[in-house]
């Protein structure tokens, strides 16, 4: 099994600090403190044997939680401080970005790190910033409810993914899509290119025609990895996502945690991959996303989980519908999906957090047993490829954060490597 350390990242501070220093996201000293914490944790994770370090891609978080506005720039800094660990955005929100610029910047980072990069692409669900940065497409955040806004966002996202892979694979990119054209305009081409002779002699074949009109572009550089970096898709909860990732060879990082449902999604991925010519073992090409807390006693670990990962889901992620990933058998009768009836706040409990097997808290031995069951895909006949730890940097003292990673490195990674 491979191990991924995922942080948001978060500007350190208490709730009182956040109120007193609002907007703490613009506080220079606290932002520097966050960078130093992330740097130290990345170095420790590298030395501890983690395979991948990941963050989100979000904007305008004045509150200082999920303050991750430029992950690829951050990874360039972290890569220079580490030796072997790879980096993966979970994930670049494509509808609010220019896909060709994403292709370029990821390829440059791939070269700077000599292949220590994974791709990660998402549709975007936070309207505060997706609606602002996506206004020129235009596109809005995806409510993932089957609405026209949701369907439009999906079409934009899938076209962006298509463009990125074509840009990575092809010496000459030509594209006539619903939202993007390359060149622009596609039919007429780009006229008035003053360096026509230069491009005709030294540029990509077909880039310019006999009349000096640009008919395509060559996106440079090609990625360092051949043919391109592998990719993750976070945080998967739906069958449609599992089917799509299995079809195209992307690794889903699955948030659904209840053992029977998690196993069912792994089996679905395996079946769809086989239909598309990829014969995989159960769990191969799949990642699980979990919160973990260690303690000298189970209660000590549960207390830590409650004030870190659970706290984040309560005050923040709950508003975006993430508790729907923590449904249990019997919920369908009380809270049916058709018509859609979400879990109400009284169901957002720490007990549910743990019963679904998302929140893993206990002594070293207790955590080890939980991960052992997950590694075998809750049946012993599978072999999970990726374990992604949602690590709450910024919500615990740095010394405690280091201790948690060291315990994981000493007792978990060697057991399941």
Residue 84 lies in a domain: no
In this predicted structure, the answer to whether residue 232 has a pLDDT above a threshold of 90 is yes
Which three-class secondary structure state does DSSP give residue 233? strand
In this predicted structure, the answer to whether residue 126 has a pLDDT above a threshold of 80 is yes
**pLDDT for residue 235:** 87
Residue 269 lies in a domain: yes
How does pLDDT run across 266-279, given as a tens digit for each residue?
999 999 999 999 99
Residue 142 lies in a domain: no
Contacts (Cβ under 8 Å, ≥6 apart) of 154: 123, 142
How does pLDDT run across 391-404, given as a tens digit for each residue?
999 999 999 999 99
Q: What is the mean pLDDT of residues 238-248?
A: 90
How does pLDDT run across 358-379, given as a tens digit for each residue?
999 999 999 999 999 999 999 9
How does pLDDT run across 54-102, given as a tens digit for each residue?
999 999 999 999 999 999 999 999 999 999 999 999 999 999 999 999 9
Residue 206 lies in a domain: no
**pLDDT for residue 134:** 96
Q: Which ranges constitute the DSSP H helices of 209-322?
A: 239-248, 259-275, 298-307, 309-315
In this predicted structure, the answer to whether residue 236 has a pLDDT above a threshold of 80 is no
Q: 234-261 burial, b if ≥16 CB within 10 A, otherwise e? A: bbbbeeebbbbbbeeebbbbbbbbbeeb
Report the number of distinct structural domains present in the chain.
1
Residue 150 lies in a domain: no
Residue 197 lies in a domain: no
Tell me the pTM. 0.95
Q: What is the mean pLDDT of residues 185-193?
A: 97
394 is in which domain, residue-wise?
1-59+263-417
| Token reading at 215 | 């008919």
**pLDDT for residue 416:** 96
pLDDT above 90: percentage of residues in the chain: 95
Residue 308 lies in a domain: yes
Residue 136 lies in a domain: no
């Amino acid at each position: 099994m491979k191990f991924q350390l995922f942080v948001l990242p978060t500007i350190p501070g208490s709730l009182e600090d956040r109120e007193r220093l609002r907007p703490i996201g613009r506080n220079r000293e606290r932002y520097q403190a966050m960078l130093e914490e992330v740097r130290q944790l990345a170095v420790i994770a590298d030395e501890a044997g983690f395979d991948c370090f990941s963050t989100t891609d979000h904007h305008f978080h004045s509150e200082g939680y999920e303050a991750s506005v430029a992950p690829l720039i951050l990874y360039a800094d972290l890569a220079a401080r580490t030796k072997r660990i790879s980096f993966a955005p979970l994930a670049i929100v494509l509808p609010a970005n220019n896909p060709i610029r994403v292709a370029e910047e990821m390829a440059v980072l791939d070269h700077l790190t000599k292949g220590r990069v994974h791709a990660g692409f998402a549709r975007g669900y936070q309207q505060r910033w997706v609606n602002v940065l996506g206004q020129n497409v235009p596109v809005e955040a995806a409510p993932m409810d089957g609405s026209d806004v949701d369907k439009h966002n999906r079409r934009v996202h899938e076209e962006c993914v298509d463009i990125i892979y074509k840009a990575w694979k092809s010496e000459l990119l030509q594209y006539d899509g619903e939202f993007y054209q390359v060149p622009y305009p596609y039919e007429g081409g780009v006229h008035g290119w003053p360096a026509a002779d230069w491009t005709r002699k030294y540029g990509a074949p077909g880039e310019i025609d006999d009349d000096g009109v640009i008919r395509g572009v060559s996106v440079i550089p090609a990625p360092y990895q051949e043919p391109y970096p592998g990719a993750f898709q976070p945080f998967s909860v739906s069958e449609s996502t599992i089917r799509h990732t299995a079809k195209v060879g992307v690794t889903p990082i699955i948030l659904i945690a209840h053992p029977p449902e998690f196993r069912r999604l792994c089996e679905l991925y395996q079946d769809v991959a086989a239909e598309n010519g990829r014969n995989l073992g159960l769990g191969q090409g799949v990642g699980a996303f979990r919160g973990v807390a260690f303690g000298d006693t189970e209660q000590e670990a549960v207390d830590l989980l409650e004030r870190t990962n659970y706290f984040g889901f309560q005050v923040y992620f709950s508003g975006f519908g993430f508790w729907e990933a923590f449904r249990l058998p019997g919920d369908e009768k009380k809270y049916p999906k058709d018509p859609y009836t979400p879990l109400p706040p009284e169901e957002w409990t720490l007990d549910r957090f743990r019963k679904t097997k998302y929140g893993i808290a206990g002594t070293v031995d207790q955590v080890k047993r939980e991960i052992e069951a997950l590694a075998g895909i809750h049946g012993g006949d599978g072999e999970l490829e990726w374990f992604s730890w949602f690590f709450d940097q910024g919500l615990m003292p740095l010394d405690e954060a280091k201790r948690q990673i060291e315990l994981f490195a000493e007792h978990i990674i060697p057991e399941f490597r």
